Amino acid sequence: AAQLRPVLPSEGLNFALTDELDGDPGWLGQDRAVDAIRMGALAAHEDFNVFVLGQPGSGRHALAQSILAEVAQDRPVACDWVYVNNFEVPHKPVAIRLPAGSACRLRKMMETLVDDLASQIPALFESEDYQTRRRTIEEDFSAAHESEMAEVFEDARTAGVAIMRTPVGFSFAGLRDAKVLTQEQFDALGEEERAALEAAIERIQQRMSEALQAVPKREREHRRQVEQLNYQLASRGVDEAIREVQEGFAGEAAVARYLEAVRRDLIENAELFLIGEGEEEAGPFPVATSKRFELPQFQRYRVNVMVANGSSGAGAPVVKEELPTLANLIGRIEYAAEMGALVTNFTMIRPGALHRANGGYLVLDARQVLSEPLAWDALKRCLRTGEIPIYSPGERLSLVSTVSLEPDPVPLSVRVVLIGERMHYYLLSALDPDFLQLFKLEADFDDDLRLQEGASAGGYAQMIAGLARRAGARALDRAAVERMLLESLRMAGDAERLTLNFSRLSDLLREADFRAGRAGAAHIGAAHIETAAAEKERRAGRVRELGLETIRQGTVLIDTEGARIGQINALTVLQIGDYSFGRPSRLTARTRPGSGKLVDIERETELGGPVHSKGMLILQGYLAAAYATSAPLSLWASLVFEQSYGGVEGDSASAAELIALLSSLAEVPLDQSFAITGSVNQFGDIQAIGGVNQKIEGFFDVCAGRGLTGRQGVLIPAANLRHLNLRQRVVDAVAAGRFHVCPMRTVSDGIEVLTGREAGVRGSSGLFPEGSLNRLVEDRLQGFADIRRSFGKEGGGHAA
C-alpha cells in the first residue's frame, strides 16, 4: 500500500499557513522558455521573433507579458506617428515620425493655429490699412478705365461722332450741332462730307474696340494687384501665426516640410477664413469660436495622431491584441456616408496593433491569428518588408474598385511573440516556408516539474501560495498544500512530476476556498481540497456511474470471480472533456487450426485504430518466434472486445490479448478476479501504458460494488509503478488485504498470476517443462501443424 501513493519530501514545507510565504517562486520549471523569451526581447537582430509553445493553462501569456514588460522598461520610448494631408496628392496622406510625446502637441498646435487664423485673418482684411489699399487699387482701375473711355468720347465729339449705349453694346452716328443725324440727314450730306464722317465713325469704332479689348487685361491686372495685396496681407498673418509651430518643432525636417506646405496652402486659400457667420453653423449647434478647426473647410489642416507614446520614460510599448483581425493588425480606413456616397480622408485612418507596438513588442495568440482571414499573411508581409501598409480585404481580393486612400506605409520595427500550442508550431514549421525565417526562437514550456529537483516542493508551495492570493482565496495550511501536491502529481500522471498547469490548480484552489467558506473555516485544509477533487469527479461522473450500473445489473458482462478459458478482463480509459475514467472490458479469444492468421475483429470492422492494429501484429510476431520454432504457425485465432461498439485505439490491451490467446490454446482457465493492462513487445516484455490510476480505480469500483473478496486485483506493468497515485479508497483496500495491485515485467508474470501455473522456460533440450503453460501452448500449436500437414497430404492425394 505504501507504493500506491508518492512520498512527499518534507523540505520546503516548514510553515503553518501559506500566509507565511511570499508567494513568488519565480517562473517555476520554465527556465528554458524564460531564456528564449528574454533573448527574443533583447536580441537586436531582425526576425528574432518568438513562438511560445505549450499547453493551455501553463501561464504562457502571463509569463511572456511579464518578461516583455520587464525588458521594455529599459528600452527607449517609441516614436510617435501621425498622418497629415498631402496638399499636392490628397489621396496619398503623408506619415510623419515624431519624438515621443510630440504627436498630440503638434495636433494641438495646429488646432490652435487654425483657431488663431480664423480670428486674425478676418481682422486683417477688415483693417483700415487693407481697406485703404484696396480702395486705391479699385480707384486706380476705375480711373484708368474711365479716363480712356473719356478720351474716346471726347475724340468722338471733336470728330462729330455720337456714341450711344444700347442693350447690345455701343452704336455710332454722325453728330451736327450736338444733335444725332438721322439717316435722311446723313444721306443728304455732300459726298465729301459724308465720306469724311464715315471715316471718323470708323476710326472712333476702332478706338472704342481697342478700349473695350483692353478691359479684360486691365481687369486681370486689377485682380493680380488685389491677389498680391491679399497674399501680402495673408502672408503676414500666416507667418506670424505659424512661426510658433515652426519653432516648436525646429530640427524636425519632416515637420518643417509639412509646415511649409501648410503655409503655402493657408496663404493661397485665405478666403476659407472669410466664410460668413451663417455658413459656419453646420447644424443646430454653432461651432464654438475656440473650435473653428472642427469646421469642414479646415479639415485639411488637422493632424491625425496614429500613435502617441508619452515622453515620461515609461519604456517601449508592450501590446497584446486579443482580436487580431486584418484591420486590427495593420489599421483601417473608415468611410462616412454623404449624399448616398461613401467618402473618406486622411483623418479617418485608424491605427492597428502593429502601429501601437512599433518600436516595442506585440503579443498574439497563434490560433486567433491563423483563424482570421488574411491576418497571418498580412503579419508575415509586414515583418518581411519592415513596413505597415494599410489596405482593406476588399482591395486585397480585388472585390472593390472605388477610389480610396493610399497612405504612406509606416516603417516597422517590432518584436512579435506568438503564443500557441505545440501542434501549431510543428504544422507551421512543416507547411509554411516563411515561418522559421520569421520566428527563429521557440520558447517551449514544460508541462511538469520533477519533484526531486532541489527544493521543488518548497518552490511549488510558494507557487500555490501565489495562486491562492491572486484568486483571492483563503490561506492553505501545510496539510492542504501537501494534498495539493498529491493532486498535482495525479494531474501530471507521474508520481515524480508536478504539473505546471496553473489553470487547473487555480480551479481546484477556488473550489476548495468555496468549500472552506461553506464550512466556516478560516483557512483551507486538506479536507477541503479532498472534497473539491471528489466533487469535481462527481460532477463529471455521470457516464462513469452509468457504466458501473450496467455492469452491476449484468447488462455489460464482466466477471470478477471464477475462471474461464480464453476470457480476460482488459482495462480501458475513456476521456470525456477533461475528465477520464477507467472501465473494464471483457476480451475473448477463440483458436483453431489454420494458416497462421490472427483475426482482429476490431480491425476487420474498422473499429480498431492503427496503434491497436500494430499491437496485434506484435502479438503475432511474439507467437511465431516463441512457439512455432520447428513448424509453421498453423493457427487461426479471433480476438474481440465484447460489447464494445465504439472505436478501440492503443496497444495497452496487447498483454491481455496475448494471455487470452495463450489461455485458449492451452485450454487453461484464467482467474476472472483480476484485470490486466499493459503493452507487450515481441520478446514478451511488458511495457508501460497510460492512465494506470484510472484503470485500477475503474476495476476496483466494479469489484467494490459487488463486494471485495480479498482475491481481486489488477496486473499492471512494473514500469508504471512510478506513476501510481491512487485514491484513498483503493489504498485503504490494499492495506487491508482486500484488493491487490501486481506489477508485471514479462508476460510470464501475468500468466502465472492468472492461471496459477508456471509459465515455463525453454530448457537445454529445446522444450518447455512438462505441465507448464508454455508447454501446453506449444503442444497445441504442434498439433495444429500436424493437422494442417495431414490435411495437406490428403488434399494432395485427391488432387493426384
User: Residue 724 maps to which CATH number?
Assistant: 3.30.230.10
Cell digits of residue 766: 529445446
What distance in Å separates the CA atoms of residue 578 and residue 508, rounded to the nearest whole number? Answer: 14
Q: Could you confirm whether 695 is annotated as catalytic?
A: yes
Whether 795 has a pLDDT exceeding 60, the answer reads no
Residue 641 forms part of a structural domain: yes
Least confident of 121-125, 312-316, 757-761: 312-316
Domain-embedded: residue 535: yes
Of 5, 746, 97, give the one whose Cα is nearest residue 359. 97
Lowest mean pLDDT among 4-18, 279-293, 571-585, 768-782: 279-293
Among the three residues 492, 515, 540, which one is the final residue of a domain in this structure? 540
Burial pattern 463-472, b for ≥16 Cβ within 10 A else e, equals: bbbbbbbeee
> Are 491 and 603 within one domain?
no
Pairwise pLDDT comparison (200 vs 569), residue with the higher score: 569
Q: How many domains does the chain have?
A: 2
Tell me the CA distances in angstroms from 700 to 154, 212, 489, 696, 729, one per residue in order: 134, 119, 21, 6, 9
In a shared domain, residues 681 and 562: yes
Residue that finishes a domain, picked among 513, 540, 567: 540
Residues 174/186, Cβ–Cβ less than 8 Å = yes
- The closest of 424, 412, 418 to 40, measured between CA atoms, is 418
Residue 397 and residue 786: Cα distance in Å, rounded?
Answer: 74
Are residue 549 and residue 536 in the same domain, yes or no?
no
The three-class DSSP label of residue 245 is helix
- Average per-residue pLDDT for the chain: 85
Q: Which of 652, 663, 748, 772 is catalytic?
A: 652
pLDDT at res. 295: 84
Q: Does an H or E element contain 450, and which?
A: strand 448-450
d(CA 125, CA 131): 7
Looking only at the bridges linking them, the beta strands covering 448-450 and 497-499 are: antiparallel
What is the pTM (predicted TM-score) of this model? 0.80
Q: Sorting pLDDT into bands at 50, 70 and 90, what band is 277? A: very low
Listed as own residue / partner, the contacts of 702-710 with beta carbons closer than 8 Å and 24 or more positions apart are 702/548, 702/551, 702/558, 702/560, 702/584, 703/560, 703/739, 704/729, 704/733, 705/548, 705/551, 705/552, 706/552, 706/560, 708/733, 708/738, 708/739, 709/560, 709/561, 709/673, 709/738, 710/737, 710/738, 710/739
Same domain? For 534 and 553 the reply is no
Over range 560-580, report the average pLDDT: 90
Question: Is residue 796 predicted with pLDDT exceeding 70?
Answer: no
Of 475, 506, 540, the one marking the end of a domain is 540
Q: What is the CATH number of the domain that holds 481?
A: 1.10.8.60
Q: Show the cell assigned to 242.
A: 505659424
Distance between CA atoms of residues 381 and 474, nearest Å: 49
761 CB-near residues (< 8 Å, 6+ apart): 748, 768, 769, 774
Pick the range with the lowest mean pLDDT from 89-93, 146-150, 568-572, 675-679: 146-150
Contact (Cβ atoms closer than 8 angstroms) between residue 693 and residue 726: yes
User: In the prediction, which pLDDT does 797 show?
Assistant: 43
Mark whether 549 and 522 lie in a shared domain.
no
Annotation marks residue 652 as catalytic:
yes
Does residue 493 have a pLDDT over 80? yes
Do 521 and 569 lie in a common domain? no
- Establish if 674 belongs to a structural domain: yes
Which is it for strands 179-180 and 169-176: parallel, antiparallel or unpaired? antiparallel
Q: Clarify whether residues 478 and 549 are in a common domain.
A: no
Distance CA 667, CA 773 (A): 9
Q: How confident is the model at residue 192 (pLDDT cuts 50, 70, 90)?
A: confident
Is 197:190 a contact under the CB 8 Å cutoff?
no
* 606-659 tens-digit pLDDT: 666 677 677 777 877 788 778 867 777 778 888 888 877 766 666 788 899 899
What cell does 393 get? 480585404
- Of the candidates 359, 353, 351, 354, which has an alpha carbon nearest to the alpha carbon of residue 317? 359
Q: Which domain, by its residues, includes 19?
A: 1-28+446-540
pLDDT of residue 462: 87
Give the number of other Cβ atoms within 10 Å of residue 443's Cβ.
26
Q: At what angle do helices 692-706 and 542-553 cross, to 10 degrees?
A: 40
Round to whole Å and give the CA distance between 375 and 326: 5
Question: What's the rounded Cα separation, in Å, for the pair 583 and 573?
Answer: 6
Q: Is the pLDDT of residue 125 over 70?
A: yes
Question: Average pLDDT, stretch 788-792?
Answer: 76
> In 3D, which of 6, 58, 3, 13 has the Cα closest to residue 34?
58
Of 124-128, 204-208, 479-483, where does the model show the most confidence? Answer: 479-483
Q: Is residue 666 domain-resident?
A: yes
For the stretch 52-63, pLDDT in tens is 999 888 888 989
Contact 395, 378 (CB under 8 A): no
- The one-letter amino acid at 422: R
* 695, 784: one domain: yes
Q: What is the pLDDT of residue 565?
A: 94
Same domain, 530 and 628: no
What pLDDT shows up at residue 283? 46
- Residue 737 lies inside a defined structural domain of this protein: yes
Which residues make Cβ contacts (< 8 Å) with residue 200, sequence separation at least 6? 159, 160, 161
536-557 core/surface letters (b: 16 or more CB in 10 A; e: else): beeeebeebeebbeebeeeebe
Give a yes or no: residue 493 inside a domain: yes
Please write the tens of the pLDDT for every residue from 203-217.
Answer: 877 877 777 777 777
Distance CA 421, CA 55 (A): 6
594 is a domain residue: yes
d(CA 730, CA 699): 10
**One of 320, 644, 673, 695 is an active-site residue; which one?**
695
Q: Are residues 651 and 570 in the same domain?
A: yes
CA-to-CA distance for 398 and 124, rounded, in angstroms?
Answer: 51
For residues 448 and 490, the answer to whether their CB atoms sit within 8 Å is no
Long-range contacts, stretch 377-382, CB < 8 angstroms, 24+ apart: 378/326, 378/329, 378/330, 379/324, 379/329, 379/354, 379/416, 380/434, 380/438, 382/329, 382/330, 382/354, 382/412
- Asked whether residue 396 carries a pLDDT value surpassing 50, the answer given is yes
Residues 471 and 601 in one domain: no
Q: Is the pLDDT of residue 552 over 60?
A: yes
Residue 273 lies in a domain: no
Same-domain pairing of 534 and 564:
no
What's residue 273's pLDDT?
79
Q: Determine what percent of the chain is predicted with pLDDT higher than 90.
A: 40
